[in-house]
Amino acid sequence: MSPRQGRPRIHRPGPRRKCVLIVEDNASIGGLIAGLLREEGYRALRAWDGREALRLARDRRPDLIMLDLDLPHKDGVEVLYELKQHKETRQAPVIVVSGNTIVLSNEDREQLADAITKPFDIDVLLNVVRKAVGDPEQEVMAKEYDLTDSHLNSY
């Protein structure tokens, strides 16, 4: 009989992983962002539309919300304002990630931690996330793309 047998195991939870809610109706882009964030140690949740985003945000209280503006059922700006009106989600920083030209009023922009246009540089995106949740940013080397590889390290 080993000395460990018979003794109860003590479970010591590790530090809480920061949770990021990704609101993206495109499966490829949402999956890419979720995979990148999980690789970095974050807990990534997915919502496919504005209604699901609002429900998940209130239930799970994420540390950060990444929001596409072009969503089914509810417009992204409408979702942004609803998130900022509820006490459960008011404090969560929001980063807009949009494939369209981001046209927001000054009042809309004041509600955001940041905004990123697709296609995005993966390293830049991760630094924006780190900054928004209070984690240290990493140095990102400038990349020079020509016309043939302008999206080589982006999506």
The number of folded domains in the chain is: 1
In a domain, residue 138? The reply is no
Per residue in 44-78, pLDDT (tens digit) is: 999 999 999 999 999 999 999 999 998 888 888 89
Does residue 147 register a pLDDT over 70?
A: no
CATH number at residue 36: 3.40.50.2300
In a domain, residue 11? The reply is no
Range of the domain at 51: 19-133
Q: Identify the DSSP state of 148.
A: T
User: Percent helix, strand and coil across the chain, each rounded to 5?
Assistant: 35, 15, 50
Q: Which residue has the higher pLDDT, 150 or 51?
A: 51
Does residue 40 register a pLDDT over 60?
A: yes
d(CA 132, CA 43): 15
d(CA 23, CA 89): 14
Q: Alpha-carbon dihedral of residues 98, 96, 55, 24, nearest 10 degrees?
A: 30
Q: How many CB atoms lie within 10 A of CB 97?
A: 24
Confidence at residue 106, expressed as pLDDT on a 0 to 100 scale: 86
Two structure tokens written together for 119: 């296609």
d(CA 33, CA 45): 10
Does residue 146 register a pLDDT over 90?
A: no
d(CA 107, CA 129): 22
Please name the residue ranges forming H helices in the chain.
27-39, 50-60, 76-85, 106-110, 122-133
In a domain, residue 153? The reply is no
Q: Give the residue among 123, 27, 37, 127 at the shortest CA–CA distance from 68.
A: 27
In a domain, residue 145? The reply is no
In a domain, residue 146? The reply is no
Mean pLDDT, residues 137-145: 80
Per residue in 82-127, pLDDT (tens digit) is: 999 988 899 999 999 988 777 788 888 888 999 998 888 899 999 9
Confidence at residue 73, expressed as pLDDT on a 0 to 100 scale: 83
In a domain, residue 84? The reply is yes
Does residue 23 register a pLDDT over 90?
A: yes
Q: Which residue has the higher pLDDT, 16 or 44?
A: 44
In a domain, residue 125? The reply is yes
In a domain, residue 72? The reply is yes
* Per-residue confidence band for 3, with pLDDT thresholds at 50, 70 and 90: low
